[in-house]
Structure 1
Amino acid sequence: MDQQACIVKTVSFVQKTLENAEGGHDWWHIHRVWTNARRIAQTETCDLLVVELAALLHDIADAKFHGGDEEVGPATAGKFLQSMDIDDETITHVQQIIRHISFKAGFDKPAFHSNELAIVQDADRLDAIGAIGIARAFSYGGFKGREIYNPSIEPNLAMSKEEYKNSASPSINHFYEKLLLLRDKMNTATGKAMAQQRHEFMEQYLTQFYSEVKF
């Protein structure tokens, strides 16, 4: 199977698998990450097939929707890629990207790095900030039944990985616990440039938000 046919088949698999997913982690999230990953890849040295497959499969079975199991995603992706007779080296690379792409993975000592991970991670982080990041934060907060804002609950700026995974703090706190941190965690020059405007928009949003919730 040629590379384009692999991508087409992967798109179909992801669309079907995520057709009932939470709105912030659905096919359209994947599509945006895939689009941004391809854009960033144009300015980086990389294996484009690995970038595209990892972008498409990075949330195929997100641990937060599978009881915290961080291996279900790599396993699901690996099984699918094997069905297309993708070579073992590519499969392993894609699985490693899935294991290490998330924000919470950053709590651990880095155990894997590649240019392809850097690209897909930046693309995923871009979708967590700016206007779309705000929308996704509130979508997931609503899905989990969290408060939008509670001034009596301060953001936890010194979370452990387990505290982050189990956090139920208001959605506004998530800006300080993750979203506003992402600009400075971007890997690539293109990702950093794209993140800057989105970061500034979030700061403007918070200024407006607090002006509307003054007591």
Structure 2
Amino acid sequence: MTQLEQITQYMQTALASDNSGHSADHIDRVVALANKILINEPMADPFIVRAAALLHDVYDDKLFNNASDVQLAKSHLKTFLSNISVSQDDISRIFYIIDNMSWSKGIGGQAQHLDINGQIVQDADRLEAVGAIAITRAITYGAVKNRILYDPAIPPRIAQNKAEYRNDDSTTINHFYEKLLLIKDRLNTETAKKIATSRHQFMLDFLAQFKAEWDLTK
């Protein structure tokens, strides 16, 4: 069994109980998107890209109840990678991508610069937040977090830092304006930008239809 096959099994076990839109099917799509982008990025390291894409949600803090659980998950992952003979240099590169690729980490300039490997993984993950699947994931995550679906009296927020962004005092529909509609213009690679174009338009069409039905104008 290859290292990537073992990493895939580890991810599937770690995310088996997820019901927030970050389960193995999401990871599979991120890896597939990363592979699409890799075709046009010959300077990238395919193993680092695929490993980071597979593992990017394994210790994501939004999926845990407290910081100590996040650190424990990260420690277990590091031990696992060492045990399957991933080099310490590669482990550091994988962790660096995971630790600096998230949208929330980028708010307020907290994230460090990503090389082409990290940019590919970041783009692949962000494309999962643009389009039809993104709509279903946003609604699923909002339901898990007990967010209000929509309230026209609650305007979209402009978060200044990660803590404000993670505050659940907004609505699911506002999330489109707070993040999802902003993604298209914050992608790194030309491949990702092309993929995002039609997906972005689909979300705009959905929001227009949603508001028309909400206001009973259609």
Which range, TM-score by smaller chain? over 0.9
Alignment of 1:76-87 (within 5 A): 76-87=76-87
Letter in 2 for 1:181: L
Residues 128-143 of structure 1 mapped to structure 2, 5 A cutoff: 128-143=129-144
Alpha-carbon distance in structure 2 between the residues aligned to 1:176 and 1:89: 38
> CA, structure 1 residues 158+12, in 2 after alignment: closer, same or farther (shift >3 Å)?
closer
Q: 1:53 is aligned with what amino acid?
A: A
Task: Give the structure 2 partner of residue 34 of structure 1.
Answer: 31
1:205 corresponds to which residue? 206
C-alpha displacement at 1:157, in angstroms? 2.4
How far 1:168 sits from its partner (Å)? 2.9
Deviation at 1:111, TM superposition (A): 2.0
Q: Can you give the 5+ residue segments of structure 1 that lack an aligned partner in the other structure?
A: none
* Cα 1:163–1:72 shift into 2, 3 Å: farther
Show structure 1 runs of 4+ deviating over 6 A: none
- Structure 1 letter corresponding to 2:14: T
* Equivalent-residue separation in structure 1 for 2:206 and 2:162 (angstroms): 27
Contact map agreement 1:61 1:76 (CA 8 A) in 2: no
Q: Please show how residues 56-135 of structure 1 align to structure 2 within 5 Å.
A: 56-67=54-65, 69=67, 71=71, 74-107=74-107, 108-135=109-136
Q: Which residue of the other structure, out of 25, 44, 59, is the alignment partner of 2:22?
A: 25
Q: Which moved more, 1:68-77 or 1:127-136?
A: 68-77
The one-letter amino acid of 1:152's match is: A
TM-score (normalised: structure 1): 0.93
1:155-174 correspondence to structure 2 within 5 Å = 155-174=156-175
**Partner SS, residue 51 of structure 1:** helix
2:46 maps to 48
CA deviations 1:137-184 (Å, max 9, x no partner) are: 000000011111011100012443210022331100000000000000
Say whether the 8 Å CA contact 1:154–1:173 is kept in structure 2.
yes
CA–CA distance in 1 between the matches of 2:122 and 2:26? 13
Q: Structure 1 residue 75: deviation in Å?
A: 3.4
Q: CA deviation at 1:112?
A: 3.2
Cα distance in 2 for residues equivalent to 1:110 and 1:146: 27
Identify unmatched segments of 5+ residues in structure 2.
none
Structure 2 distance, partners of 1:17, 1:109, is 27
Q: 1:71 to 1:168 in 2, by over 3 A?
A: farther
Structure 1 Cα separation of the partners of residues 150 and 190 of structure 2: 34
Percent identity for Structure 1 against Structure 2: 38
C-alpha distance in 2 between matches for 1:18 and 1:86: 21
Q: Distance in 1 between matches of 2:104 and 2:66?
A: 11
Count of aligned pairs:
212
